[in-house]
Amino acid sequence: MTSSNSDRPHRLNEFAMIAKYFAPLSKGAAGAAGLTDDVATLNVPAGHEMVAKVDAVVEGVHFLRHDPASLVASKALRVNLSDLAAKGATPIGYLLSLSLASWADDDWIAQFAEGLREDQNHFGVDLLGGDTTSTPGPVTISITALGSILAGTTVRRAGAQPGDLVFVTGSIGDAGAGLAVLKGEGTDLPASERETLIRRYRVPEPRLAVGRLLPGLASASLDVSDGLIADLGHIAETSAVRLVVEAARVPLSSAVRALWGDGIDGIVRCVTVGDDYEIAFTAPAQARSRIADVAARSRIPVTEIGTVEAGQGVTLLDRGEPVPINRPGYTHF
Amino acid sequence: MTSSNSDRPHRLNEFAMIAKYFAPLSKGAAGAAGLTDDVATLNVPAGHEMVAKVDAVVEGVHFLRHDPASLVASKALRVNLSDLAAKGATPIGYLLSLSLASWADDDWIAQFAEGLREDQNHFGVDLLGGDTTSTPGPVTISITALGSILAGTTVRRAGAQPGDLVFVTGSIGDAGAGLAVLKGEGTDLPASERETLIRRYRVPEPRLAVGRLLPGLASASLDVSDGLIADLGHIAETSAVRLVVEAARVPLSSAVRALWGDGIDGIVRCVTVGDDYEIAFTAPAQARSRIADVAARSRIPVTEIGTVEAGQGVTLLDRGEPVPINRPGYTHF
């Protein structure tokens, strides 16, 4: 773990900070060398290949200064593990690139590290290495997740074939609804349902237990981060097919139904809000019963929501009629 | 390659940006899937392990808004390759996490990508994957370099033994002198020498040709980024030894001598300014002739500058007398 210059003596110096908060997170990984070396080394099991993914979260874009630091850490790690999950990979560990604003004091860093520690235990991963620097701007956290997978079995976005079925794990729209609640919607909802939705927004649940069963079964797969329709659109584009989703089959939680209702407007909101971190995938029709087994073994719901056809794009059907979608997911720059 | 939300339509939307500027940088790596998937996969040769390193560079801390974007990209990549070089690893590719401020327009991004492209060709690495997001703060670039090394041969910081010799590649102090020139020093120097120093600051030269010959030869190694004395201090600490450096043996370029003179004050400045990205390493005395071979084969100067003794810390000797060092390298937070 290395660090860069700053003039602000408002917290432990960076070597002390690394030793106190971050080195303990690397103890399970011999190749991390206790964060006292320039690089991390890691072994890839024979016959396997490395899988790597980086994602940044930025204060003011992905989280707010006063959000609980442990949850910020958790989300930063989990959004990356979710990508590995969707591909069928097994996470090994991660590298942390942490750009600290002057407001981020020892308390914030301690809570941030605690969030990482809890998730490391939960997911069986270790901090392998990293870099800390000061920044005149917002706290910026970039996590690189590293994992392994049996060589050649990674489930890609390309691979969906006409005749395949479309599936999704868990429920869709909860995280977006949680953000809406944080912004002031749903004041008439019971506190428990509001909390459920907010939790889904703040702490994604990477579907590793499903993902590891997908190689050899799914024809295409990804994690839903931008919005179900937008992300299925990525599969449609890279696979050069059309995906048709039946609105009534999209799995919705009771909490999101309480907030946005059972009607098509509520469903459209759910399939376009993003931040779900569920796995959406396609598979041949003959895999249907094996996918039911996956759901049973992983104890995570897996719902069949549509079909793959020749053509392009994603169509959402409401009682047989296409529903116009103005905005399939996040507006990007 | 994924991307996150922003409200600013001031440049190509991010999918177009990735397709235009970044996807071409991934063409050499099948596992990058043209940046159209959630993860990158990469093969590690049999008997080898992965080596990973992340480093962030931040506008206003490590570079300035009006610095040439191609050189910013080059430095961001090279500082990571330098770490791999110092460990004896062979770089394979890298992941790019790019947080873009609103001022960074298409032109800047095009030049940034061009800087990466040139260095990819130079170092034989590929863009494997990445993430783009907007930020309300400074442009922040976090690069994760991935490489491979014969299992168990990584040269660590720990490993220096009393009786070993201390070596360094290239010349020390040029980059720090280049920064000093950018800040207004050396106005009486010939333009060519000013340019030489500035170039050394802006475009580090990872010493891969030396580094790959170090496994089995060096007992400890790192790249010099904080300052020679500070970085040798890392070896001293992790190896639990004392390093003694003879000031007169520290290799200095003619340009830096022209700026700061031949005296001990100039040498102290050179060994404490940082940004050198040379390799400092220790090796047993009987390796001396093989190290001369390394220098000859790599065509990079390698200079013996001191010895390893029992004890702790780093001592700089000037004609047999210890030189007091107030500040061995960058001041960190």
> Mutating which of A142, A208, A330 best tests the B interface, going by the most B Cβ atoms within 10 A?
A142
Q: How many CB pairs under 8 A join A and B?
A: 274
- Distance from the Cα of B153 to chain A's closest Cα (Å) equals 10
* Cβ distance of B15 and A332 shorter than 8 Å: yes
Residues of B in contact with A2 (CB under 8 A): 55, 83, 225
| Facing A38 at nearest CB: one of B44, B87, B97 | B87
Give the pLDDT band of residue B6 (cuts 50, 70, 90).
Answer: very low
pLDDT 10s digits, B202-223:
999 999 999 999 999 999 999 9
- Burial of residue B318 (number of CB atoms within 10 Å: 0-12, 13-18, 19+): middle
The pLDDT score that the predictor gives to residue B5 is 47
User: What ipTM goes with this model?
Assistant: 0.92
The rounded distance, in Å, linking the Cα atoms of A249 and A236 is 19
Q: Is a pLDDT exceeding 60 seen at residue A331?
A: no
Q: Is a pLDDT exceeding 90 seen at residue A176?
A: yes
The pLDDT score that the predictor gives to residue A119 is 98
* Cβ distance of A156 and B84 shorter than 8 Å: no
Give the pLDDT band of residue A13 (cuts 50, 70, 90).
Answer: confident
Q: Is a pLDDT exceeding 80 seen at residue A253?
A: yes
- Distance from the Cα of B173 to chain A's closest Cα (Å) equals 17
The rounded distance, in Å, linking the Cα atoms of B241 and B233 is 9
- Distance from the Cα of A320 to chain B's closest Cα (Å) equals 31
Give the pLDDT band of residue B89 (cuts 50, 70, 90).
Answer: very high
Stretch (H or E) spanning B158: none
The pLDDT score that the predictor gives to residue A15 is 84
Q: What is the mean pLDDT of residues A79-94?
A: 97
The rounded distance, in Å, linking the Cα atoms of B136 and B6 is 9
Tell me if residue A328 falls in helix, strand or coil.
coil
Q: Is a pLDDT exceeding 90 seen at residue A117?
A: yes
CA atoms lying within 13 Å on the CB side of residue A264: 13
The rounded distance, in Å, linking the Cα atoms of A72 and A26 is 19
Q: Is a pLDDT exceeding 70 seen at residue A330?
A: no
* Cβ distance of A38 and B222 shorter than 8 Å: yes
Q: Is a pLDDT exceeding 60 seen at residue A10?
A: no
Tell me if residue A143 falls in helix, strand or coil.
strand
Give the pLDDT band of residue B10 (cuts 50, 70, 90).
Answer: low
- Distance from the Cα of B56 to chain A's closest Cα (Å) equals 6
| Adjacency order of strands within the sheet including A302-309 | A220-223, A279-283, A165-169, A302-309, A242-246, A313-318, A321-322
> Mutating which of A1, A6, A39 best tests the B interface, going by the most B Cβ atoms within 10 A?
A39
Q: What is the mean pLDDT of residues A75-79?
A: 97
Average pLDDT, chain B: 94
Q: What is the mean pLDDT of residues B318-331?
A: 87
Retrieve residue A21's tokens. 């908060």
- Residue that is written with structure tokens 């050198």 in the block: B276
Q: What is the mean pLDDT of residues A262-272?
A: 96
The rounded distance, in Å, linking the Cα atoms of B216 and B154 is 9
* Cβ distance of B130 and A3 shorter than 8 Å: no
The pLDDT score that the predictor gives to residue A333 is 56
pLDDT 10s digits, B242-277:
999 999 999 999 999 999 999 999 999 999 998 999
pLDDT 10s digits, B56-85:
999 999 998 999 999 999 999 999 999 999
* Cβ distance of A37 and B238 shorter than 8 Å: yes
Tell me if residue B17 falls in helix, strand or coil.
helix
* Cβ distance of A138 and B134 shorter than 8 Å: no
Helices A191-202, A174-182: crossing angle, 10 deg rounding: 110
Give the pLDDT band of residue A11 (cuts 50, 70, 90).
Answer: confident
Q: Is a pLDDT exceeding 60 seen at residue B43?
A: yes
Q: Is a pLDDT exceeding 90 seen at residue A270?
A: yes
What pTM value is reported for the model? Answer: 0.93
Retrieve residue A241's tokens. 């097919």
* Cβ distance of B142 and A146 shorter than 8 Å: no
The percent of residues above 70 in pLDDT, for chain A, comes to: 96
Helical residues (DSSP H) of B173-281, grouped into ranges:
174-182, 191-202, 208-211, 228-239, 254-260, 264-270
The rounded distance, in Å, linking the Cα atoms of B327 and B125 is 36
Q: Is a pLDDT exceeding 80 seen at residue B333?
A: no
DSSP B48-115: EEEEEEEEEEEBTTTB-TTS-HHHHHHHHHHHHHHHHHHHTPEEEEEEEEEEE-TT--HHHHHHHHHH
**What DSSP character marks residue A22?**
I
**What DSSP character marks residue A323?**
P
Stretch (H or E) spanning B150: strand B140-150
Q: Is a pLDDT exceeding 70 seen at residue B332?
A: no
Average pLDDT, chain A: 94
pLDDT 10s digits, A40-72:
999 998 899 999 999 999 999 999 899 999 999
The rounded distance, in Å, linking the Cα atoms of A173 and A175 is 6
> Mutating which of B18, B50, B148, B234 best tests the A interface, going by the most A Cβ atoms within 10 A?
B50
The closest of B299, B150, B288, B52 to A147, measured between CA atoms, is B52
The pLDDT score that the predictor gives to residue A9 is 40
* Cβ distance of B53 and A95 shorter than 8 Å: yes
| Facing A333 at nearest CB: one of B2, B14, B42 | B14
Tell me if residue B198 falls in helix, strand or coil.
helix
Q: What is the mean pLDDT of residues B223-240?
A: 96
Residues of A in contact with B87 (CB under 8 A): 37-39
The percent of residues above 70 in pLDDT, for chain B, comes to: 96
| Facing B51 at nearest CB: one of A39, A100, A238 | A39
Residues of A in contact with B134 (CB under 8 A): 58, 61, 333
The rounded distance, in Å, linking the Cα atoms of B58 and B80 is 14
* Cβ distance of A40 and B49 shorter than 8 Å: no
Give the pLDDT band of residue B326 (cuts 50, 70, 90).
Answer: confident
Tell me if residue A65 falls in helix, strand or coil.
coil
What is the chain B residue with the closest CA to A44? B49
The pLDDT score that the predictor gives to residue A197 is 97
Q: Is a pLDDT exceeding 90 seen at residue A295?
A: yes
| Facing B11 at nearest CB: one of A136, A156, A333 | A333
The rounded distance, in Å, linking the Cα atoms of A14 and A8 is 11
The pLDDT score that the predictor gives to residue B224 is 97
The pLDDT score that the predictor gives to residue A133 is 93
Q: Is a pLDDT exceeding 60 seen at residue B28?
A: yes
- Residue that is written with structure tokens 């590929």 in the block: B126
- Distance from the Cα of A42 to chain B's closest Cα (Å) equals 5
Q: Is a pLDDT exceeding 60 seen at residue A191?
A: yes
The pLDDT score that the predictor gives to residue A326 is 86
